[in-house]
Amino acid sequence: MNLARLIADMPKAELHLHIEGTLEPDLMMALARRNNVTLPYATVEDIRQAYEFNCLQDFLDVYYLGMSVLLKREDFFDLAWAYLEKMAAQNVTHVEVFFDPQGHTTRGVSFDTVLSGLTDAFDKAERDFGITSKLIMCFLRHLSEDEAFDSLEQACACKSHIHGVGLDSSEQGHPPSKFKRVFAEAREQGFTPVAHAGEEGPPAYVAEALDDLHIERIDHGNRALEDPSLVKRIADSGMAMTVCPLSNKRLQVVPDLANHPLRHMLNAGICATVNSDDPSYFGGYVTDNYLAIAEALNLTRSEIVQLGRNSFIGSFMNEADKRAAVAHFDEFVDKAR
Ligand code: HPA
Ligand code: ZN
């Protein structure tokens, strides 16, 4: 089987995906019309033209603007369902999905509206496609600790629908330590902690996320590679890192994909995984990310298999489900010679 076919056909999990980052321009336009929201774009083409980013903040400005069309429960359902239909077509069998409630509650959309629309879609995807999922609620790190505590309080009222808590938005100047007490309370309440770290921020932010937030997975983590002792620590811990190649390219975290550090991560023994981050904004869903990085780095069959396998190993499935998913993956790869 050729490698592009292997990538397309192998079972995969996606572990770093912001549901609001799957809002495609045509759905954005349709929801703007449905909800009478005025956008600063006249056409779908205008929206696409706005997707030129020099850094994370350039993207975030456009991302928060795009969210303004999401107002009702059915809008969140339509958003998530469009993503899940694509995942079914890409042989993605498990997803762990971020959502940004503060991006909505600050606009007057209730936490319950957001969560119910999303869970309607994820429940239907399990029934219709057999895609399993876990939701991870992110705190927007440019907002205050108090605001994060408010969001956590709302999450505590719907624990059965939310597996973990994460940390996203503008990294520089908002170190993990700012949310040390929020994460302590979240862990106390049973949420699994993760954080974006080392995307633009220094290696010290990755160390802080480990030491202060006690995270169980690192989102991005690229700049950890600048500190060899940190690399060894991450590799020795077995902790997964959720790498997003096309995002890194579009946000200029790497100069180009040929210089992406993914192979170095694997060679260092890190459980690296491939993910799409915000696929509507960065030019591709998870399979597109595998294809692009495989081509740019000339990844071998065994490296691609390792990445696919890592996507299940690094997931937050319970041990029995994880064992079954890895066995299913290995069986597929054995047959796909
Ligand atoms: N980084 C930080 N915050 C985000 C991202 C990201 O890549 N995507 C959505 N929010
Ligand atoms: Zn992200």
pLDDT value for 337: 83
Q: Quick one: which atom of ligand 1 is closest to the CA of 169? A: 3
Q: How far is the CA of 123 from the centre of ligand 1 (A)?
A: 25
Other C-beta atoms within 10 Å of 61: how many?
A: 12
Question: Using a 6 Å cutoff on CB, does residue 278 contact ligand 1?
Answer: yes
How much of the chain, in percent, has pLDDT values that exceed 90? Answer: 99
The ligand placed nearest to the CA atom of residue 171 is 1
Question: Using a 6 Å cutoff on CB, does residue 199 contact ligand 1?
Answer: yes
**Domains, the chain, with CATH or none:** 3-329 (3.20.20.140)
Look at residue 1 and tell me whether its pLDDT is greater than 80: no
Q: What are the distances in angstroms from CA 269 to CA 28, 240, 266?
A: 40, 10, 5
CA angle 44, 50, 53 (to 5 degrees): 145
Judge whether 274 and 245 are in contact, CB under 8 Å.
yes
Q: How far is the CA of 195 from the centre of ligand 2 (A)?
A: 9
Residue-wise pLDDT tens digits, 15-50: 999 999 999 999 999 999 999 999 999 999 999 999
pLDDT value for 23: 98
Mean pLDDT, rounded, of the chain: 98
The ligand placed nearest to the CA atom of residue 136 is 2
Residue-wise pLDDT tens digits, 162-208: 999 999 999 999 999 999 999 999 999 999 999 999 999 999 999 99
254 half-sphere exposure, CB direction, 13 A CA radius: 21
Collect all residues with Cβ–Cβ distance below 8 Å to 315 and sequence separation of at least 6: 13, 15, 94, 96, 134, 240, 322, 325
Where on the phi/psi map is residue 76: left (φ > 0), alpha (ψ -120 to 50), or beta? Answer: alpha
Q: What are the distances in angstroms from CA 221 to CA 54, 93, 173, 203?
A: 19, 24, 17, 8
Residue-wise pLDDT tens digits, 323-334: 999 999 999 999
Give the whole-angstrom CA distance, residue 336 versus residue 234.
31
| DSSP string for residues in 264-278 | HHHHTT-EEEE--BS
H/E element, 245: helix 245-250
Other C-beta atoms within 10 Å of 321: how many?
A: 14
Q: How far is the CA of 334 from the centre of ligand 2 (A)?
A: 32
Residue-wise pLDDT tens digits, 210-260: 999 999 999 999 999 999 999 999 999 999 999 999 999 999 999 999 999
Q: How far is the CA of 161 from the centre of ligand 2 (A)?
A: 20
Pocket probe for ligand 1: among 53, 56, 57, the residue whose CB has the most ligand atoms within 8 Å is 56
Q: Which residues are annotated as catalytic?
A: 199
What would the two tokens of residue 275 be? 């993910």
